[in-house]
Amino acid sequence: MAGGGDGPARGARVVLCPLPFQGHLSPMLHLAEALHARGVAVTVLHTAFNAPDPAHHPAGLAFVAVPDVIPEAVAATNNGIAKILALNAAMEASGHVRDALASLLAEEREPRLACLIFDSTLSAAQNAAAGLGLPTLVLQTGSAACFRLFRSDTYDMLHDRGYLPATESNLHMPVEELPPLQVRDLFDPSKLPNKEIVHKILSRATETTTNSSGAILNTFEALESHELAMIRDELAHKGIPPFAVGPLHKLVTSNDGGAETSLLNQDRSCIEWLDTQAPGSVLYVSFGSVVHVTQDEFMEMAWGLVNSSKPFLWVVRRGLVLGVDKQELPDGFMSAVEGRGKVIEWAPQQEVLAHPAVGGFWTHNGWNSTLESIYEGVPMLSRPIFGDQLPTGRYVRDIWRIGILLEGVLERGEVEKAIKKLMDEDEGVEIRRRAKDLKEKVRMCLDSSGSSQQAVDKHTYSDKFHLY
Ligand code: UDX
């Protein structure tokens, strides 16, 4: 792998355009740092909304903001797909992204602009690049399994073969074409009031890949070799190489720095608290930046944690509970867990997962959280809520076997049992051992000669992109 640091940029310049939500922004910024560390000149083209803080990145990274926003009426909803479509529409209408790309292309300085790397959901950015004759690479921030699943042809197949729409009687049916998935792991558009927008986003996800010169995936060979092999086959005849470069949050080695990409302030008091806890004893609980739970589910989580008698660190993010900004804890909760429970609004998650006191992660299986847990060898209690989280929860339990899957109605007795199983019982010991094995594998992929570093080198050095 090439080192680089802040040395002069050689070869080429690239523009990176992230989707401005935490789970998508972070991997793009980590990719920006990895390319920068290899001497590629990088400009991050981002919305002023949820803008990254340049002070958290090496001085050589350039940042350009566009003023596009999601209209207020859509931004106020919980509908993530509608937000993505509205942002794309705003970008198409304003032409700001196109103008910004055009002025970067028009600059007469070296190195020249070689391509746009964009989030797979931002078709507006790709369209702007296409209009200017600028090649694109698509960044898929989720798993390889979900890259194959969330395509319009896959969804056509799922409907044609009767898996979807899901019914009460077929929920447990295996999807033979997509093992280990069952019907209940599929994101079912028919459950949503506006099915058309789901079809729209699936078609766009397919098109953004087909119209790109290559696909960058935030996963690694040892984790999803089978899925990656199939993607390679499926894209080969279109001449689109896939590159598995993950986990992106650890692609830049610690010597090179590593970006702080959190959009919210992280409460570091939890690290001091973890320092007082026994090794491997604490369950870390966090459901990422966007999902919601109902008031009832929140109560079941709270009392399940109390009744488990295990130490825990719980992130109760503002807005976690549907319809409530700042959720109150139930009466008697804090006194019941005094000394063994800590509740905060937002954590330095990667540092928490790396802390020796943490022995388990109750997660919604957002892809970043999943990769961060895998990297630290922390076994999971999976409670996927929607979209890609559902298949990922199934992979955690059935393929990698590094966690327990909490399905069905959330109920305090089941929560208590699952926590004890993960943290104490024989099944938990085996799960922990496999999580540690996988940790060794991910670290090998990130070694200088490992598959993920090699994959970045391939596209930064390749004749096709001339990035270096
Ligand atoms: C969203 C989708 O919900 C998810 O399904 C998809 O895979 C990615 O986009 P999000 O729900 O926020 O993401 O989850 P996740 O992908 O896990 O990303 C959350 C990020 O926030 C992680 O990088 C995590 O380290 C960070 N985080 C989370 C914190 O820094 N502090 C916290 O307290 C919680």
Residue 6 has pLDDT above 50, yes or no: no
Q: Which pLDDT does position 281 carry in this prediction? A: 97
Q: Which pLDDT does position 174 carry in this prediction? A: 98
Q: Please give the distance, rounded to the nearest whole angstrom, from the Cα atom of residue 26 to the centre of ligand 1.
A: 9
Q: Which atom of ligand 1 is nearest to the CA of 249?
A: 23
Can the peptide bond before residue 8 be classed as cis, meaning omega within 30 degrees of 0? no
Say how far apart CA 191 and CA 221 lie, in whole Å: 34
Residue range 334-372, pLDDT digits in tens: 999 999 999 999 999 999 999 999 999 999 999 999 999
Say how far apart CA 369 and CA 378 lie, in whole Å: 11
Buried b / exposed e across 256-276, counting CB within 10 Å, b at 16+? bbbbebbeeebbeebbebbee
Which residues are identified as catalytic? 24, 119
- The type of residue at 335 is S
Cβ atoms 347, 266 nearer than 8 A? yes
**Best mutation site among 289, 314, 344, 367 for ligand 1, i.e. most ligand atoms within 8 A of its Cβ?**
289
Pairing of strands 136-140, 312-315: unpaired
Q: Which pLDDT does position 302 carry in this prediction? A: 98
Say how far apart CA 305 and CA 466 lie, in whole Å: 53
Residue 186 has pLDDT above 80, yes or no: yes
- Integer CA distances (angstroms), 133 to 83, 114, 128, 177, 395, in order: 28, 10, 9, 38, 39
Q: Which pLDDT does position 10 carry in this prediction? A: 53
Residue nearest to atom 29 of ligand 1 (CA): 349
Q: Which atom of ligand 1 is nearest to the CA of 142?
A: 7
Residue range 155-183, pLDDT digits in tens: 999 999 999 999 999 999 999 999 999 99
Residue 2 has pLDDT above 70, yes or no: no
Going by pLDDT thresholds of 50, 70 and 90, the confidence category of residue 33 is: very high
Paired tokens of 421: 């199983």
Going by pLDDT thresholds of 50, 70 and 90, the confidence category of residue 77 is: confident
Q: Please give the distance, rounded to the nearest whole angstrom, from the Cα atom of residue 386 to the centre of ligand 1.
A: 13
Residue 136 has pLDDT above 80, yes or no: yes
Q: Which atom of ligand 1 is nearest to the CA of 372?
A: 25
Residues pairing with 403 in the sheet: 380
Q: Which residues lie with the beta carbon below 6 Å from any ligand 1 atom? A: 22-24, 26, 142, 262, 266, 286, 288-291, 315, 346-347, 349-350, 366-369, 372, 387-389
Residue 246 has pLDDT above 60, yes or no: yes
**Best mutation site among 286, 369, 388, 395 for ligand 1, i.e. most ligand atoms within 8 A of its Cβ?**
369
Q: Which pLDDT does position 338 carry in this prediction? A: 94
Residue 461 has pLDDT above 60, yes or no: yes
Going by pLDDT thresholds of 50, 70 and 90, the confidence category of residue 458 is: confident
Going by pLDDT thresholds of 50, 70 and 90, the confidence category of residue 190 is: confident
Q: Please give the distance, rounded to the nearest whole angstrom, from the Cα atom of residue 368 to the centre of ligand 1.
A: 6
Least confidently predicted of 77-81, 83-87, 270-274, 349-353: 77-81
- Integer CA distances (angstroms), 190 to 128, 132, 156, 349, in order: 32, 38, 13, 34
Of 3-12, 192-201, 335-344, highest mean pLDDT? 335-344
**Best mutation site among 285, 368, 388, 389 for ligand 1, i.e. most ligand atoms within 8 A of its Cβ?**
368
pTM beyond 0.90, yes or no:
yes
Say how far apart CA 430 and CA 402 lie, in whole Å: 8
Q: Please give the distance, rounded to the nearest whole angstrom, from the Cα atom of residue 168 to the centre of ligand 1.
A: 30
Q: Give kind and range of the element (H or E) at residue 88.
A: helix 80-94
- The type of residue at 49 is F
Mean pLDDT of 146-154: 94
Residue 216 has pLDDT above 50, yes or no: yes
Residue nearest to atom 15 of ligand 1 (CA): 366
Pairing of strands 214-217, 136-140: parallel
Cβ atoms 376, 352 nearer than 8 A? no
Q: Which pLDDT does position 210 carry in this prediction? A: 94
